[in-house]
Structure formats: C-alpha cells, structure tokens
Amino acid sequence: MFTRRPVTVVILAMALLASCSSGAPGPTPLPSIGSPTAAATQAPSPTDASSEEPSPSEEPSEVPEPTDEPSDEPEPSPSEAATQAPTLAPSPTAAGVSEQCQAANLTGLKNPGRLTLSTDTPAFPPWWGGDPDTQYPNEPEGGSGWEGGDPYSQEGYEGAVAYAVAEALGFTPDMVDWVQNVDFALAFAPGEKPFDFHLAQISIRPRRAEAVDFSQTYLDANQAILALTPNPIVGTTTIEGLKDFRLGAQTGTTSFELIEGVIAPNTQPSVYNDNTAALQALQNGQIDGLVVDSNTAIFMRDAILEDFGTPEPEATVVGQFDDSDQVDEVGIVLELDSPLTECVNEALDVIKANGTLDAIYEEWISAGQEIPFFE
C-alpha cells in the first residue's frame, strides 16, 4: 500500500517540463576557457579566528606609545592581565582549509580570482533548484539559459554543495560563475575543461578516472527502478524477476551499467540521451522500468507523474539495489591532474566535519522513504 503525500515541488516540476518543451530556447554550449580577470579575495570570518593558532606570517599588534595622561580605563589586576587573550588578526586558515587552498592563493583557476563551476542542462531537482526564468543575484543580466533549474539559485543538493565548497575555499557567491554541459559524458571525457569543477551525480569509476580527476565522494547513491503503477513489473522483488522486462536508462550512466552488468535482461535495454527522454519513453509505454538513482526516482514519481486527483498513484518506485550490487559513490569532477583537486578535497573535509554536508542532505534529499531492496 503506498502512502500518498502532498508534494510541494509539483509547481517546480511543471516549470521543469515547461522549460524542456520545444518552445524553450536551446541550451548554450560550454564556452571556451575564460580570459583572466582581476583577482578577488575574501577575508576569512573573524568568528573562526579565535579557534586558530596565529600564523607565523602575522604581524604583531601595534603597541600604543606611552603617555603621561591618566587613563579613564581601570587597569586590570595582574591575575586578569595574565588570563586575557591577545587580539589577533583573522587567520588565513579561518575557512578551515590550508593557506595555499585559500581563494587568494589558488593556482590553476580558469579565471584567476573567480571560481568557474559547471553542471548539466537540464538541471534536475532534487539536485538543482530555482527557476530558470528568475534573475538571481550574481547571475548574468538577462539570465543564463538554463533548463529545469538554475544553479545561480544556490538551491538543490548539488547546488548547495557547490556553494558550500566554494565558501570553504574563500569564494563568496558573487565570485562564482557557471557554465553549461549539454552532454553528460563530455564532463569526464579526455581533454582540457572549461570549468574548475563540475557536479552532476557522476559516479567515480576507474575508467573515468583515467581522463579526469575525482574528488572524494560527497554522496553515496543507490540505483532504483521507476515504473507506471499498472505495469506488471510493479511487485517484482528479485533481480532475477526483472530479467523479462524492458528496461531503459540514460546513456553513459551507472544506471545503464547496472542494467547490463547486474540485471542482464533478456531484452536489449533502451538507452536515451537524457532522463527527460527516458521518462517520456516510460510514459509512452516503450519501457517497463526506468533505472535512475533512488532520489531522482522519488522526485519523478511524486512531482512529475503524480496526479493527486486520482485514487491510486500513477507511478511506483519498484525497488532499489543494495550496495553489494553496485557501489555508487558520487564525486566532483576536475580536469586531469588539476592543482585544485586536493583543495576541493580539503573543502569537502571541512563541510563534512562542521555538519554542513549533513544539513544539506537533510534539506534537499528525500528522507523516510521506505523503498524495498531487490533480492
């Protein structure tokens, strides 16, 4: 029995579908590498400085010249003077990363002094939020041509992670630029990249790591199967039982790898350029089940396919795959041998240690969903 819950993201889904219609403007391809601009720096937060040891490079505080004028301020007692902490200038490591990983000291940026980030378009919830028709602060005037969501909104799980990593490195939102990737596989193809780093639920795989750098993981994702509720695949509980159904997934994804390597269906699986096309195939009855990560499956079920005016749910997440079937660790993508890779890892360590990553997960990723595991 399925529990139908109100979904506050239905309006977002309507915007997503509208933006993917044939009347929407086409996506802007990834631009060429930007020319350098003046470097910008950010002062670390003074609230963090008290917990850091002073850097050897810090200048000592100026000592006031002696004066014969009496002071109105009472002099502290010897015991008070011994316990009062000296006032220090903000530490260069106040953001939690090493000094060489602070924004002002980073090398290898595509646009010195600025951080150039990237994701795919369309940008799907719950990974990305916002409205492409909204002019967000720090977004280029007139919009930036995104579909589905808008990274400049700083919303969605990956959107929030991207800006949290940027902040840990010392970049403010007005120092962050975004470029679009119109082909999922281009992000981890060999060659020079027009971005400093890229987030798009890309699983860390040895073959991919031959062409690009990966950060440490920022998400562990399970794959799942989404189906229309009347389809006979609903109720299947074993991987063996999935073999006789028509399955599909986006090209170049671990979802498609799972179909071929774990399920090994008796019918050739269908492959699609993106999840929009794959979902349309599911709705058209061309496939029985769509393989996507579990959180995307939940969003598609509740925010795109659900019609609250009917007595039964239109779609069902049939089940999900255990880690033993496929470990799916998701990492940030950087150019091969990028000097930024270790700094991005340091920033991820910071947001994991201070609870920021957990808070982002709680805000944007569906919780409390009881999806059975395939046996």
What does the pLDDT read at residue 58?
Answer: 43
Specify if 48 maps to a domain.
no
SS3 percent helix, strand, coil of the chain, rounded to 5, is 30, 15, 55
Specify if 196 maps to a domain.
yes
Specify if 64 maps to a domain.
no
pTM: 0.67
Query: pLDDT tens across 46-56, in order?
Result: 344 334 444 44
User: What is the DSSP pairing of strand 176-181 with strand 115-120?
Assistant: parallel
Q: Which residue has the higher pLDDT, 221 or 234?
A: 234
pLDDT over 90 percentage in the chain: 61
Residue type, 149: G
Asked if 273 and 266 count as a contact pair (C-beta separation under 8 A), the reply is no
144 and 272 inside one domain: no
Cα separation, 52 vs 88, whole angstroms: 10
Given a cut of 50, whether residue 115 has pLDDT beyond it is: yes
DSSP result, 177-196: EEEEESSGGGGGSSS--SSS
User: What is the DSSP pairing of strand 247-250 with strand 315-320?
Assistant: unpaired
197 and 337 inside one domain: yes
The arrangement of strands across the sheet holding 270-272 comes to: 270-272, 247-250, 289-293, 223-228, 315-320
Q: Give the max Cα distance, the chain.
A: 96
What does the pLDDT read at residue 144?
Answer: 77
Asked if 266 and 301 count as a contact pair (C-beta separation under 8 A), the reply is no
pLDDT band at 145 (very low <50, low <70, confident <90, very high): confident
Query: pLDDT tens across 201-213, in order?
Result: 999 999 999 999 9
240 and 189 inside one domain: no
Q: Is the peptide bond before 232 cis (omega within 30 degrees of 0)?
A: no
Specify if 73 maps to a domain.
no
How confident is the prediction for the chain on average, in pLDDT? 80
338 and 355 inside one domain: yes
For residue 203, the enclosing domain spans: 99-220+329-364
Query: pLDDT tens across 72-113, in order?
Result: 444 444 444 333 433 333 333 344 899 999 999 999 999 999
Residue 317: what are its φ and ψ, rounded to 5°? Answer: -85, 105
Q: Could you give the number of structural domains in the chain?
A: 2
Q: How many residues does the chain have?
A: 375
pLDDT band at 311 (very low <50, low <70, confident <90, very high): confident
Residue 143 sits in a domain whose CATH number is 3.40.190.10
265 and 135 inside one domain: no
Lowest average pLDDT, out of 60-64, 174-178, 295-299, 348-352, goes to: 60-64
Give the mean model confidence (pLDDT) for residues 51-66.
44
Asked if 176 and 117 count as a contact pair (C-beta separation under 8 A), the reply is yes
What does the pLDDT read at residue 16?
Answer: 35
What does the pLDDT read at residue 307?
Answer: 87
108 and 204 inside one domain: yes
Residue 181: what are its φ and ψ, rounded to 5°? Answer: -115, 120
Asked if 153 and 134 count as a contact pair (C-beta separation under 8 A), the reply is yes
Given a cut of 90, whether residue 33 has pLDDT beyond it is: no
Specify if 41 maps to a domain.
no
196 and 233 inside one domain: no
Give the rounded distance of the alpha carbon of 11 from its chain centre.
Answer: 22
215 and 277 inside one domain: no
Beta bridge partners of 220: 329
210 and 229 inside one domain: no
Given a cut of 60, whether residue 200 has pLDDT beyond it is: yes
118 and 263 inside one domain: no
Asked if 147 and 19 count as a contact pair (C-beta separation under 8 A), the reply is yes
Residues 6+ apart with CB under 8 A from 7: 302, 303, 306
Residues 6+ apart with CB under 8 A from 9: 125, 126, 299, 302, 303
115 and 149 inside one domain: yes
CA atoms within 13 A on the CB side of 366: 23
Could you tell me the two tokens for 329? 């660790």
Q: Which of 223, 222, 266, 230 is nearest to 247 (CA)?
A: 266
Could you tell me the two tokens for 103? 């924004």
What does the pLDDT read at residue 17?
Answer: 35
109 and 174 inside one domain: yes
Specify if 204 maps to a domain.
yes
